[in-house]
Amino acid sequence: MVQMSLQRSLAISPSCSLSESLHRVGGARRRWASCRSQSSRFAYSARPSPIVLKTDSAIDPSEPKDLDAGSSASRSGPYSGPCHQPGTTGVMGASSTCSIKFLEKFVSWSTRYGEEAPPFIIYNDPLIKKELLLSGNQFTSDCSVALGKLRQKRLSLEHSGACCIVMPCQFLHTWYDEISQGCSVPFLHVGDCVVKELKATDLKPVEYGGNVRIGVLATNDTLATECYIDKLESQGFEVLCPDKASMERTVIPSVDAFMKGDMEGARNLLRVSLQVLLVRAVNTVILASDDLVGILPDDDPLLKRCIDPLDALVREAIVCTRTPCP
């Protein structure tokens, strides 16, 4: 495993309010300046930051969006094991893009008020995602091996002094229970972070006396159910998802077009998918798939009605690293 120390933090983006940032999607596709050397892959400020980066694979960075660092979320839930001092965040990834997007926001949002960025330790292995994809959400031998690797890396992060652990890749949360079982520190769940922030906002019911409606746009039914739908409904939210026809005609084809480089086709299909949910009086739509984030341009009006779950996860991780252990 290669280790390198980043002695400076990412440049800070202009601020925006929490309510605004909650409904904006991270800029996964914004351009970075051409890199002339390895040291120029990140934008630096003059303030030093104690950050440790560990990775088994090359990471392709993308520019952070202008979002708020504040969070209404706070640590909660039962956690067993020894008390870890606040400070280091452990990051487990199976997608270089998701991991670097998390780190960009984590560093820039946590330093925008002049504070030092919390240190972090990262383990990123894209091969694990391939092994899990081959299992098709079934507990095959390949799946068991992959989950075993993730549990081992989780233990390594705990022993390295991480005070909390996050998985920026939404896909991995399909196996959250198996990976997090027995964890001695807070292991943040992206669905819990999103629901916590939704509860803290002043969302108006779509009709008098009705429940707030939240749309969930996903490419994986199991992930959508386990990560978002069950959690939202347990908190009193009404949840709407695309029907089978919409999935087959717009959602899945949008991702396919994106993978093939057909940006116009991908964007048009995704816009249709979102409009189908919004015309049914949905207040906001959760982009419950890493493949859907970054398809639309940053200035697309529809993004104001969407949530990138990674944003909530970043805010909760910052709070967790700065909350003293009770």
Residue 106 placed within a domain: yes
Residue 135, pLDDT score: 65
Same domain for 103 and 164? yes
Residue 136, pLDDT score: 61
Same domain for 223 and 183? no
- Transcribe 70-98 into DSSP letters: --S----S---SPPPPS--EEEEES-HHH
117 phi and psi angles, rounded to 5 deg: -70, 135
Handedness of CA 63, 228, 72, 214 (dihedral sign): positive
Residue 270, pLDDT score: 97
pLDDT in tens, 7-66: 333 333 333 333 333 333 433 333 323 332 333 332 323 333 333 333 333 323 233 333
Residue 43 placed within a domain: no
The domain in which residue 304 lies consists of 193-308
206 vs 105 pLDDT, higher one: 105
CATH number of the domain that residue 127 is part of: 3.40.50.1860
Same domain for 185 and 197? no
Residue 83 placed within a domain: no
pLDDT in tens, 156-211: 999 999 999 999 999 999 999 999 999 999 999 999 999 999 999 877 555 545 56
* Residue 28 DSSP class: T
Residue 172, pLDDT score: 92
Same domain for 152 and 292? no
User: Per the structure block, which two tokens stand in for 17?
Assistant: 């309010």
User: Per the structure block, which two tokens stand in for 53?
Assistant: 């980066």
90 phi and psi angles, rounded to 5 deg: -95, 130
Question: Which of 22, 101, 19 is CA-nearest to residue 309?
Answer: 22
Q: What angle do CA 314, 320, 326 make, to 5 degrees?
A: 170
Same domain for 234 and 270? yes
Same domain for 211 and 293? yes
Same domain for 291 and 247? yes
SS3 label, residue 212: coil
Same domain for 303 and 317? no
* Residue 289 DSSP class: S
CA 199 to CA 296: how far, in whole Å?
A: 26
Residue 216 placed within a domain: yes
Same domain for 271 and 249? yes
Residue 299 placed within a domain: yes
Same domain for 116 and 259? no
Please give the average per-residue pLDDT across 80-107, as a whole number.
82
Contact 26, 65 (CB under 8 A): yes
Query: With the CA atoms of 320, 148, 177 and 314 taken in that order, what torsion angle do they form, in degrees rounded to the nearest 10?
Result: 30
User: Per the structure block, which two tokens stand in for 111?
Assistant: 């330093």
Same domain for 181 and 257? no
Residue 12 placed within a domain: no
Q: How many domains does the chain have?
A: 2
251 vs 132 pLDDT, higher one: 251
Query: With the CA atoms of 58, 62, 66 and 72 taken in that order, what torsion angle do they form, in degrees rounded to the nearest 10?
Result: -40
Residue 11, pLDDT score: 32
Mean pLDDT of the chain: 75
User: Per the structure block, which two tokens stand in for 213?
Assistant: 């409606």
CA 133 to CA 142: how far, in whole Å?
A: 10
- H or E stretch including 18? helix 18-22
* Residue 225 DSSP class: I
- Full-model pTM: 0.73
Contact 166, 75 (CB under 8 A): no
User: Per the structure block, which two tokens stand in for 204?
Assistant: 């108006």
Same domain for 158 and 297? no
Residue 17 placed within a domain: no
224 phi and psi angles, rounded to 5 deg: -60, -40
User: Per the structure block, which two tokens stand in for 225?
Assistant: 């159910």
Question: Which of 290, 1, 289 is CA-nearest to residue 123?
Answer: 1
Res 122 pLDDT > 70: yes
Residue 61 placed within a domain: no
